[in-house]
A and B are shown apart, each in its own frame.
Chain A
Amino acid sequence: MASDGKGDGIHLRDTVRGEPQRFFDAQGVDELVSISMALAQELWTVKERMVVLESAAAAKGVLLNEELEQHQLTAEEQERLGAERAKFIDRIFFVLREQAEGLKSRDPDEPTPPQL
């Protein structure tokens, strides 16, 4: 699976070892639940930032809509946004990366849950 888009520095493992739990009979539904929740989280993050942005802009008396339409990002800003986007996509499709990494890091001696 593709890399997680993280740069240098200390990396903590963020995937859970072993096979993930499955609840739905149809293939892919468990993954879609996961992806939907991550999307909802990202959407919320944007909404929070928008609220702050609008509040800060209003406090400064800025005409936000017009300025946003005309504003151009610098090359440096665009590069930063591209890196952010890679991390954004990894967060949303995290469950697919986890399946691969979880299998790799699985311990054969992992205690099993009780039998139902």
Chain B
Amino acid sequence: MSESAQNLKIQPTRDEQARQRFVSGMRYYILHNVAAGMRTVYENKVEPRFKHDHGRDPEDGPEVHKAIKDETMFKFYSSMRCNAQEMVWRSVIPMVERNAEDLAARAKAIGADREVAQGTLELDPDFEVPKAVSALDIHLMPGSYHSEYMPDDVSIGAVYDNGGLVFSMGLLGEAREDIGASISCFVSHRYPDFKPARILDLGCGLGNNTLPWARTYPDAEVHAIDVGAPLLRYGHARAQVRGTSVHFHQRAVEDPGFDDESFDLIFSSMLLHEVPPKNVGRTFSEAFRLLKPGGLMLHMELPPNNMTAAYDSFYLDWDSYYNKEPFYKPFRDMDLRQVCADAGFAPDNYVNFVIPSLHLAGRQAILDAVSQETADVNRNTGRMAKTIQWFCFGAWK
């Protein structure tokens, strides 16, 4: 096999590359310059007007949202963000289309080659993709996570992977494994005696944040589930290329299967805001069932609204209204400690952390965070910038 046949890389034309670079640059401009302008309008115009009219500060995100939504700066920020989001996917779709058949063949061949890694792929031909994924184009990505255009298709996986690189503006490195890498590094140092033998990643997507757990705990058996077949095919091949053994399964997080008390660590990243709010409790109950006593459930997400200031709540909830992520705000409105308790976890066993980025801040920053007692949520938490930090929460069983 040629070098390109041994991986999932596809080559953009020079113009496609220029379009992709433009979208990254445009997103950076919107998320920094235009967002800073919107905050300035808020602090200098909207907030003083609100105080004058109500005799107090806005209390929460919706109050800020209502007060700012008629401002021209909000309208431009929002309109440009929606457009840039769609342009992310459109900037990679042509090169995926051009390579779709070849990529499907490559992914199949790589997946079957078990020389470097011993991962597996289990797809369910009778699996019904939940409406929460199939009925809308999540984060404005045409085709959501599940659409298939031919047998053995991995196109959506390739759109998500290559688009993700454009979306992240190069901040998280080419592999974009930073969430899993940062959090697994943190956990292994914070709890040096915790040695999970079996790990499950819920809603794994392409497995970017699954693989670092397998590297942090090389003796562990690592499983990962998601609903989208093209993502799983692509993710399986991607893991094999990277020499990391992970077992991928097409299953829903609300109904994951597996035996009771069969995992030591259950993880998810950027999953819960895409689960219908009524199913979050069931997802946690299933995690409780699957965990061995002494096991850890840990979810990375944006911080909840009860930990963020009113303006930041508005800013982080924006995606729920305008980015086809309707469950974002309902999730961020939840009392996380209570949801864990309702699923069976003792309230005293609740944990939450704010963890620096391994890729951007380095290993020492994570080791420094290990010794801190409380989660210090600030404006950098979850916000795509060079100062990004990851919020995560969960509970010990």
Residues of A at the B interface (CB closer than 8 Å) are: 6, 9-18, 20-21, 23-24, 30, 33-34, 37-38, 40-42, 44-45, 48-49, 52, 91, 94, 107, 109-114, 116
B224-255 Cβ-contact flags toward A at 8 Å (1 or 0): 00000000000000000000000000000000
Contact A13 B321 (CB under 8 A): no
Contact A12 B98 (CB under 8 A): no
Residue on B nearest A52 in the bound complex, by CB = B14
Q: Which of B76, B84, B89, B97 contacts A10 (CB 8 A)?
A: B97
**Whole-angstrom CA separation of A44 from B150 in the bound complex:** 34
Q: Which of A14, A33, A48 contacts B80 (CB 8 A)?
A: A33
Task: Say yes or no: is B190 at the interface (Cβ < 8 Å to chain A).
Answer: no
Task: Say yes or no: is B184 at the interface (Cβ < 8 Å to chain A).
Answer: no
Residues of B at the A interface (CB closer than 8 Å) are: 14-15, 17-19, 21-23, 26, 62, 65-66, 74-76, 78-80, 82-84, 86-87, 89-90, 93, 96-98, 100-101, 131-132, 134-137, 140, 142-143, 147, 149-150, 155-156, 159, 276, 320-322, 324, 326-327, 329-330
Given A11-B97, A14-B93, A107-B134, 10 new contacts (CB under 8 A): A10-B97, A12-B155, A33-B76, A37-B83, A38-B87, A41-B26, A48-B21, A107-B136, A110-B136, A114-B329
Chain B residues with CB below 8 A from A17, complex form: 136-137, 142
- Secondary structure at chain A's binding surface: helix, strand, loop or mixed? loop
**Whole-angstrom CA separation of A24 from B69 in the bound complex:** 10
Q: Which of B140, B156, B326 contacts A111 (CB 8 A)?
A: B326
Contact B62 A116 (CB under 8 A): yes
Chain B residues with CB below 8 A from A11, complex form: 97, 149
Q: Which of A14, A44, A111, A114 contacts B142 (CB 8 A)?
A: A14
Contact A45 B22 (CB under 8 A): yes
Contact A37 B84 (CB under 8 A): yes
Q: Which of A10, A21, A111 contacts B131 (CB 8 A)?
A: A111
